[in-house]
Chains A and B, each alone.
Chain A
Amino acid sequence: MPRYVLMRLIQGVITVWFIATATFFVMHNIPGDPLADEKAVSDEIRENLERKYGLDKNVWVQYGTYMLNMIRGDFGLSFKHENRPVNKVIAERFPVSAILGILAIVIAGMGGVLWGALTALYRNRWPDVVIIILVILGISVPSFVFATVGQLGIVVANRVVGFEILPVAGWGTIWHMLVPALVLGLGTMAFLTRLMRTSMLEIVNADYIRTARSKGVPVAQIFAKHQFRNAILPVVTVLGPSIAAITTGGFVVENVFAIPGLGRTFVEAVQQSDYTLIMGTTVFYGAFLVLMVIVVDIVYAFIDPRVKLK
């Protein structure tokens, strides 16, 4: 077990190195000049700026410096955030995205498992049909439509009641998070509901369920102990990719609701050509996703004793 974890971590580190390298060279080949926006600077200032950001050196020297700094956990100075280190910007913005993402994942996971189990229980009766229609909606409507409609919903609700039930945008309290997290989790929830339903229905016909039934185990117990627990396994497997989907979904939700998270920071960094911040954010996201996949794999092994870690 520790050996497996170690192996996975080493693989993860190599993957992150690859991501960082790819990011570096893509960024280096972006047409345009990172200092182009600086208004009318003299040649001397320009040289100083280039020296400050190491732009005067050869590509490989820049790459080496970047990698060494990254190993030390230093992503350099932001171009646009007034001399602030990229690390600081990430450290400030990431927790916001993380809280929003965790909330969304919790909503999506619990909702998906619950609705999926319900549809399987009420198969082909009206709760099943209604939920399936909602699931189809959830899968085919883009997240930005949910986000805008969600925001419009708050606006209208506030107007109808005459005072502010929920804040329309911004960040700070739990009330700011509710609708964005729900919107962010909707797509994943629909997907998980469908998955849960399929896996519940597959398990209904499994041998151990039939055995339990013939032994006279109460229906509720069969459902809770045998069917539900086994059906939830595939849901856990896709939680890793879902985390990735939810982080990227954060781009839109953070933009629509004006939430100061990492997704919005990235989009802003791209719009302002803040090269170091773009690079730092990309590598950070990549490393985070790699870590999440490893964690999900390990968690999976704990839940399902049939999976042997080697």
Chain B
Amino acid sequence: MNLSFTPATVETDIEQTSRPSLSYWQDAWIRLVANKRAITSLFVIICLLLFAFVAPHTIWRVKHDIQNLDRASEPPWVNRKALVLSDNDTWNDVVVPDAVGEHRAPTSLEVVGEAATSRVRLMWDAVPNSHGYRVYRNIVEPREGAPLGLSIGVVNESTLVSFEDRLDIRQKPYWYSVVALHEDGSEFDTAKTLRVVPQRSIYVSEALALPGVDSAQPGETVALVWHPLGTDYLGRDMLARLMKGAQVSLTIGIVAPLLFMVLGIVIGSVSGYFGGIVDAGLMRFTDFVIALPFLLFMILFKLMFVPPEGEANFLSSVQDFLGIEGGILAMVVALVLLSWPGIARLVRGEVLKIREQGYVEASRLLGAPNRWLIGRHMIPNTMGVVLVSFTFAVPATIFTEAFLSFIGMGVVPPTPSWGSMCNDGIRTMETYPHELLFPALFISITVLAFNLLGDGLRDALDARMRSSE
């Protein structure tokens, strides 16, 4: 038997790296991009930020605080056409000879000229044996025997058969009724009713003041300023207010979590890293702060931080110096003071865990100084959970702000926030639902987007916390 031993060839590079190695964040980014819901949410959030901070300076420069009570509570689909009326829009009463016949109510009732929101002119024919007329206006069709509505005027001559209504007329159907009067002022038993839909009107001088209108003749129609999302109860542009509200809500919703994250990370890492009495003391304090009833203390802090009108305190001076308004700073400070314990506990737990890890031990054995251990191992390895908590803290904070503003304990009017806009919208909810709908929609979309992004980040960053959906 011939045994021949041939030396095995030395295989170098047995384990070949077939793909480039990925860092933790690169890996997480790839996972996140693969998650459609998370990426859509990220896109939505970017759009919201553009909406809040870029759009008001570029595509929609309308001021959010200009009131126009003539155009209060207009829904987005309102007809913007307005009839131009002469500045000198006067009218003479119509006088007719005494009537003959048997009729007990006017046989005709008509509108003279155009029915406009600045005036509706009515004319009818005289009723025999009457001593005057009373004119009624109703917003529903008066039924047989039912009251005729609001009494808007009395004419004391039987031959004077006209009336001009100038009383707060809106663009909606009205039912005008004219009833003749006896000598003692009591009414005849029948009335003549006419349905009128006034057209929005504007005077020449007002029309010329509109942007983009160079000439206006009486009788023409012009288009009024466009409010794409309608107006609120004071006639302010909803879109501009939503943008301003987005600034307020998103600023509070992002800045406050950023700040309390930093505070929580510092306290949590100091506590976890040093341990012992420092840890015990800090954690006890954390327990106390967590036990404070959150919303009640938010309100108390707001009372403490926001000075009475006309006075100033340290926070309000800082706020004026920074050029922000509406007690936003007070709310941010209150949020920071009350919200850090959660993240401090989380970071402490992570630091305790990482401190015992083999690679930290190895690094320490190799002579790494504390600053290396903290900067290179502790902080980067806690960043994952911190980022996830941040994404969930944003919607929670936006909710808190909206909630407080809703019960009138949040940002100080007239600064709008989505919450306070909802509060305003509730008064007119039944008739003009858009005033509640839009801000509520923005809150919901924002909260939803941040929540879904948070879910995605959690799945991407931390396999242990992966949700099982």
The residues of A with any CB-CB pair to B shorter than 8 Å are: 15, 18-19, 22-23, 26-27, 29-32, 136-137, 139-145, 148, 152, 155, 198, 201-202, 244, 248, 251-252, 255, 266-267, 270-271, 278, 281-282, 285-286, 289-290
A-B contact pairs, 27 of them (CB 8 A): A18-B291, A19-B291, A22-B292, A22-B297, A26-B297, A26-B304, A27-B300, A139-B447, A139-B448, A140-B447, A141-B440, A142-B402, A142-B440, A142-B444, A142-B447, A145-B436, A198-B467, A198-B469, A244-B293, A251-B295, A251-B403, A252-B406, A266-B299, A271-B408, A278-B300, A282-B300, A285-B296
A102 vs B305: C-alpha distance when bound (angstroms)? 34
Give the distance in Å from the alpha carbon of A282 to the alpha carbon of B298 in the complex. Answer: 11
- Known contacts: A15-B287, A19-B291, A142-B444. The answer to whether A266 contacts B403 by CB under 8 A is no
When the two chains form their complex, are residues B296 and A282 in contact, meaning their CB atoms are under 8 A apart?
A: yes
Distance (whole angstroms) from the CB of A284 to the closest CB of chain B:
9
Residues of B194-220 at the interface with A, using a CB-CB cut-off of 8 Å, are none
Residue contact B295 to A31, C-beta cutoff 8 Å: no
Partner of B299, one of A144, A155, A201, A270: A270
Query: Of residues B313, B395, B429, which shows the largest number of chain A Cβ atoms within 10 Å of its Cβ?
Result: B429
**Chain B residues at the A interface, C-beta cutoff of 8 Å:** 287-288, 291-297, 299-301, 303-304, 307-308, 311, 313, 395, 399, 402-403, 406-409, 419, 422-423, 426, 429-430, 436, 440, 443-445, 447-448, 451, 467-469
Partner of B308, one of A32, A266, A281: A32
Please pick, from A29, A141, A255, A281, the residue contacting B304 in the complex, using a CB distance under 8 A.
A29
Closest 8 pairs between A and B when the two form their complex, measured CB to CB: A140-B448, A140-B447, A18-B288, A248-B295, A201-B468, A140-B444, A285-B293, A15-B291
Cβ of B461 to closest chain A Cβ, rounded Å: 18
Contact A266 B448 (CB under 8 A): no
Q: Which secondary structure dominates chain B's binding surface?
A: helix
Chain B residues within 8 Å of A31, by CB: 304, 307-308, 311, 313
Query: From B302, which residue of chain A is reached at the shortest CB distance?
Result: A270
**How far is it, in angstroms, between the C-alpha of A31 and the C-alpha of B312 when the chains are bound?**
10
**Given A198-B467, A251-B295, 16 other A-B residues pairs in contact with their CB atoms under 8 A:** A23-B300, A31-B308, A139-B451, A142-B406, A144-B406, A148-B426, A148-B429, A152-B430, A198-B469, A202-B468, A244-B293, A248-B295, A251-B403, A252-B407, A285-B293, A289-B293
- Name the B residues within 8 Å of A252 (CB-CB): 403, 406-407
CB proximity of B463 to chain A, nearest CB, Å: 14
Contact of A155 with B406 in the complex, beta carbons under 8 Å: no
Which residues of chain B have C-beta atoms less than 8 A from A155's C-beta? Answer: 430
B407–A26 CB distance below 8 A: no
Distance in angstroms from B352 CB to nearest chain A CB is 20
Main secondary structure of the interface of A (DSSP, over half): helix
Q: In the complex the two chains form, what is the Cα distance from A148 to B424 in whole Å?
A: 12
- Chain A's closest residue to B405 (CB) is A144
How far does the alpha carbon of A152 sit from the alpha carbon of B427 in the complex, in Å?
11
Is B403 touching A144 in the complex (CB atoms < 8 A)?
yes
Choose from B293, B304, B447 the contact partner of A282 (Cβ within 8 Å): B293
- Chain B positions within 8 Å of A15 at CB level: 287-288, 291
CA distance in complex: A266, B402 (Å): 18
Provide the residues of chain B in CB contact with A278, threshold 8 Å.
Answer: 300
Min Cβ gap A44→B in Å is 26
Q: Is the CB of B297 within 8 A of A289?
A: no
Q: A26-B300, A142-B443 are in contact. Are A289 and B291 (CB under 8 A)?
A: yes
The interface residues of chain A lying within 8 Å CB-to-CB of B296 are 248, 266, 281-282, 285-286
Question: Which of chain A's residues have a CB closer than 8 A to the CB of B301?
Answer: 26
Residue in chain A with minimal CB distance to B467: A198
A18, A145, A281 pick with most chain B CB within 10 angstroms: A145
How many Å from the CB of A93 to the closest CB on chain B? 14
Question: By the criterion CB–CB under 8 Å, are A141 and B444 in contact?
Answer: yes
Residues of chain A lying within 8 A (CB to CB) of residue B444:
137, 140-142, 145
CA A143 – CA B400 in complex, angstroms?
11
Residues of chain A lying within 8 A (CB to CB) of residue B395? 140
Whether the Cβ atoms of A270 and B409 lie closer than 8 Å is: yes
Across-interface contacts of B313 in A (CB, < 8 A): 31
Cβ–Cβ < 8 Å partners of B407 in chain A? 251-252, 255, 267
Chain B positions within 8 Å of A148 at CB level:
426, 429, 436
CA distance A165 to B291 in the complex (A): 41
Decide: A142 near B403, CB < 8 A? Known: A30-B304, A148-B429, A201-B468.
yes
Beta-carbon nearest neighbor of A203 in chain B: B468
- Cβ distance A205 to chain B, nearest Cβ, rounded Å: 9
- Which residues of B are found within 8 Å of A144, using beta-carbon distances? 402-403, 406, 422-423, 426
Q: Compute how far the CA of A299 lies from the CA of B315 in the bound complex, rounded to whole angstroms.
A: 44
User: What are the residues of chain B within 8 A of A255 when measuring CB–CB?
Assistant: 407
Residue of A nearest to B445 (CB): A140
Across the interface, which residues of A come within 8 angstroms of B294, CB to CB? 244, 248
Min distance, Cβ B303 to any Cβ of chain A, angstroms: 5
Q: Report B-chain residues with C-beta under 8 Å of the C-beta of A271.
A: 408
User: How many whole Å from A160's CB to the nearest CB in chain B?
Assistant: 14
Shortest CB–CB separation between residue A82 and chain B, in angstroms?
A: 23
Distance from B250 Cβ to chain A, minimum over Cβ atoms (Å) = 16
> Which A residues are CB-close (under 8 A) to B287?
15
Q: How far is the CA of A142 from the CA of B293 in the complex (A)?
A: 20
> In the complex where A142-B443, A270-B303 touch, is A286 in contact with B436 (Cβ < 8 A)?
no
CB distance from B73 to the nearest CB of A (A): 17
Residues of B within 8 A of A244 (CB): 293-294
